[in-house]
Amino acid sequence: MKVCLLNDSFPPVIDGVVNVVMNYADYLVKDHGAEVIVGTPKYPDGDYSGYDYPVVAYPSIDTTAVASGYRTGNPFAGKAVSALADFQPHVIHSHCPASATVIARLLREETGAPVVFTYHTKYDIDLQRMIKLRLAAKESIRAMVSNIEACDDVWVVSRGAGESLKALGFQGDYLVMNNGVDFRRGRVSEAEVETATAGFDLPKDVPMFLFVGRMMTYKGLPLILDALRLLSDGGRDFRMVFVGKGPDQAMLEEKARNLDLMDCENSPGKCIFTGPIYDRDVLRAWNTRADLFLFPSTFDTNGLVVREAAACGLASVLIENSCAAEGVTHGRNGFTIAETPEAMAALLREVSGDLSHLHQVGQHAMEELYLSWQDCVNTAWDRYGTVLEMKQSGRLAKKRKLPTDILVSLTAKTMEEQERRRRLRRELFHDFRETAVGMMENIQEAEESMEQLLERLTEDIQKGIERKK
């Protein structure tokens, strides 16, 4: 089977969805022998060689200042779409509802392959953050939902993600397809922990809390800091480690200073911001060292970091009824609280006095919440086969006609014609060059023959003159 994976980001950008796409590609190739191609916007410092599959990086524009470090791809880049179409995929799988899904629809027009879409995150919040005008943001969200509705099979990463998509106006059906983690199940050695955390003030008898992810306020990070201030005011010692980077990092660090939680004369420096850590083994070590993972996000639709923590025997504190809390039983394999600093502070005060109990809950999280990427991709592979079978038998649900369908169809035909003409020009140029080279070679051969003939005539004339003498 040939699978085309599309996303609006790829290394050098590292985020949760990039991690998903890379694991899909790796396990599709390794476990199923699939042929895979990846399409993504091009970054100036991106190196797209060295993968076990081709990566087509299409032109993009610099929107990093307004889009949290992301560039925006041009989905109408004819050469890139043509390169993806030449691959002749059997399944097209888009992981972002913007340019990636526009390209997916263009490819479907050219190849007839069905489009699978996965809804990973609440893109509407990012759109509202980037687009200050309410009307423009509303129209962008409507366009995003329309793009998703145009796909043949829609997947969501949790039940809550599906309900979030429905709340945006999505009218189709969806299937819950969980994401996994690339961490191995199990805690790392004490030596690895010491190496990874060397140089940080982490007393062994003091509870250590951990957050890993993008430094964004909508992930509940201000709530963590406010809760820690309450905990500190109550006389409880702790260390809180934030791993990651993001546009709100400076503001969050300033808030921590204002709350006397770090870098202050009278503070022991209870909060630590490490910056991003890309080495997965080092991240495993941090998860092993921590006593509790704090993730009060109602934005995330799945929370892969919660499963990564569980892989290392680390339990999480989550907001009750959030997507990340799906499958978590309070006090058994994690903890759930109301979305307030007071609720978090109260829980931390209660559980941090019994670290052995925390570690027991973390062990249950490892046993009950861990889900490997291998298992997840196996499930996706089976679904690809089902979608193809439905497509071939005519049982794939007919999509309702959307206003953009005509535009996409016309655009695809125009791009296909432009590419056909471009290739024709290239072939004509090649033929002309070959003909010209051939003519030059023939002329050179004729000149050489003429020179040889003149040499022989000159010799004959000279011999004749000598004989007459």
CB contact at 8 A, 152 and 396: yes
Summarised one tens digit per residue, pLDDT across range 347-360 is 999 999 899 999 99
- Mean pLDDT computed over 12-26: 90
pLDDT computed for residue 131 by the predictor = 47
Summarised one tens digit per residue, pLDDT across range 444-458 is 666 666 667 667 767
Give CA–CA dist 300/358, Å, rounded: 24
Residue 194, pLDDT > 90, answer: yes
Give CA–CA dist 445/32, Å, rounded: 56
Angle ∠(291,292,295) on CA atoms, nearest 5: 160
Alpha-helical runs (H) found in 176-275: 190-197, 221-233, 249-258
Summarised one tens digit per residue, pLDDT across range 392-407 is 998 886 665 555 554 5
CB contact at 8 A, 161 and 301: yes
Max CA distance (Å), the chain = 130
Number of residues that this document lists for the chain: 469
Residue 427, pLDDT > 90, answer: no
- Would you state the structure tokens that stand for residue 390, as one six-digit string? 């439905």
Work out whether the CA dihedral 413, 418, 424, 426 comes out positive or negative: negative
Non-local (6+) Cβ contacts of 108 within 8 A are 92, 114, 115
What's the pTM value of the predicted model, to 2 decimals? 0.76
Residue 198, pLDDT > 60, answer: yes
pLDDT computed for residue 133 by the predictor = 44
According to DSSP, the residues that pair with 92 across neighbouring strands are 4, 115
DSSP 324: G
pLDDT computed for residue 359 by the predictor = 94
Mean per-residue pLDDT of the chain:
85
* CA-to-CA dists, residue 318 to 157, 328, 367, 388, angstroms: 17, 9, 18, 38
Give the containing element (helix H, strand E) for 367: helix 355-368
Residue 432, pLDDT > 60, answer: no
Burial of 403 (0-12, 13-18, 19+ CB in 10 A): exposed
What is the number of alpha carbons within 13 Å of residue 307 lying toward its C-beta?
25
Summarised one tens digit per residue, pLDDT across range 155-176 is 999 888 898 889 888 998 999 9
Summarised one tens digit per residue, pLDDT across range 299-308 is 887 788 999 9
pLDDT computed for residue 127 by the predictor = 47
Give CA–CA dist 207/347, Å, rounded: 13
Summarised one tens digit per residue, pLDDT across range 226-276 is 999 999 999 999 999 999 998 899 999 999 999 999 875 555 589 999 999
- Would you state the structure tokens that stand for residue 155, as one six-digit string? 């997947």
Summarised one tens digit per residue, pLDDT across range 53-81 is 999 999 988 887 766 678 888 888 878 88
What is the number of alpha carbons within 13 Å of residue 325 lying toward its C-beta?
22
CB contact at 8 A, 339 and 307: no
Summarised one tens digit per residue, pLDDT across range 112-135 is 999 999 998 766 555 455 444 455
Pairing of strands 72-73, 60-61: antiparallel
What is the number of alpha carbons within 13 Å of residue 235 lying toward its C-beta?
1
Give the containing element (helix H, strand E) for 403: helix 403-468
